[in-house]
Amino acid sequence: MSYLLGTPTSTPIYASPIKTVKSTLLKILEENAEALTTIPPGAAWFVDAMAILQVTKTAISMIYSELVSTVFTSIIRSIPSEGCIDWVFDAYPEVCIKNIERYRRSTIASGSLTTRIRSGAQKVDQQMKKSMRSGAFKASLTQFLLQEWLGKEYPSRLEKRTLFVTGGDKCFRLTADESASEVGQIKIAALRCTQEEADTRMLLHAAHAADRAIPAMVIRSPDSDVTLIALSITHHSDTQLIFRRRIQHRARYRDLTAIARGRRQEICNALPGYHASTGCDSTSAFTGRGKVSSFRLLKVDYSFRSAMADISHSASLQSSSSTGEQAICTLYSKKQLTTFGTQTSASYHLATACTVLPVRT
């Protein structure tokens, strides 16, 4: 008789990754945090561009130039005429860490569709949602938006705002000239980035803004991943960090700087490694261990917290592999498991115990 030693604590072979509800962790972190009612003047805005495009509504006869105009309006709405906006896209290389996750999403949603954008007069495909599941289409749409915003219609609409727009691994600063007749484009070398996710790229842009003595920074995104990463860096900046997301057609603002002050710095430092280890878009969760129970452990167990902080900030996973295995043993809350020292020996113990942990398929 034989069995897989890794089965109880990892993804079963031939099965999909185990998913967990990420938003539950955000609710815990936001407990007792009051919503902001005003944004400090002079605040810079950082927008998850693809999240905005995903929810942009299209009319039956809409053409791409009209779509571009609608998106531009959504960007500058509520931003002062001299404000600063960073419009940050994901990157879509052929070899991508999220290819499996994107394939899974498109399969569940009956496939994707790659539409070629030839001109602004071209009609928007009525199956726009299917097109938005294609990385190639989203990359071409990114470039199309950037080129269109350099047109004659946009200097007067841009006014004195500064718009940073990413495209691939590059970033460009768009500003209107004094006569509002032309939009100038400058490549910003400091914001060149090979990160695939806008989640992390937005924080590079936030660091760039902090160097310019911006009084406050507002991150606009529906993704809880951004919040967790942002909370881990709030102790390293004097600039107020604010998170904006939309819930049931209402915008809600949370002061991440105040939330971080309510938590110990060592907990905030451990959040990225903890979140990635206990289940996110590209990693599987552990069987029978959700975000809530593992976060309780993060707060009270020093060794687990230290291991997650090591994973958060280590440039090499090899250096944190031993503490990581010990943390997995601790996660299953049986004291005797920590004596085994490795995940494999702990898995063997769990597999041969009277009570076997359930495996989701």
Q: Where are the domains of the chain?
A: 7-24+264-352, 44-214
pLDDT band at 94 (very low <50, low <70, confident <90, very high): confident
Give 285-330 pLDDT, tens digit per residue. Answer: 777 777 888 888 888 888 888 888 888 877 666 655 666 677 777 7
DSSP 288-350: TB-HHHHHHHHHH-HHHHHHHHHHHH-S-GGGGHHHHHHHHHHHTT-GGGGGT-SHHHHHHHH
**Residue 151: DSSP 8-state:** S
> Widest CA span of the chain, in angstroms?
80
| Alpha-carbon distances, residue 15 vs 34, 106, 278, 284 (angstroms) | 41, 17, 17, 11
Count CB-CB contacts under 10 A for residue 154. 20
Distance CA 199, CA 217 (A): 15
- pTM exceeding the 0.95 threshold for the entire prediction: no
Per the listing, tokens 């500058």 go with: 76
Q: How far apart are CA 311 and CA 354, in angstroms?
A: 33
**What mean pLDDT do residues 124-141 have?**
83
Residue 26 near residue 226 (C-beta atoms within 8 A): no
- pLDDT of res. 87: 94
Q: What tokens appear for 244 in the block?
A: 């904006």
User: Cβ–Cβ contacts within 10 Å for residue 133, how many?
Assistant: 21
The 10 Å CB-count burial string (b at 16+, else e) for 46-81 is bbbbbbbbeeeebeeebbbbbbbbebbeebbeebee
Per-residue confidence at 8, pLDDT binned at 50, 70, 90?
very low
Nearest to 143 by CA among 121, 162, 116: 116
Which pLDDT score, from 0 to 100, does residue 134 have?
A: 81
Read off the pLDDT of residues 153-207 as tens digits, 9 standing for 90 and up: 999 999 999 999 999 899 999 999 999 899 999 999 999 998 888 988 999 999 9
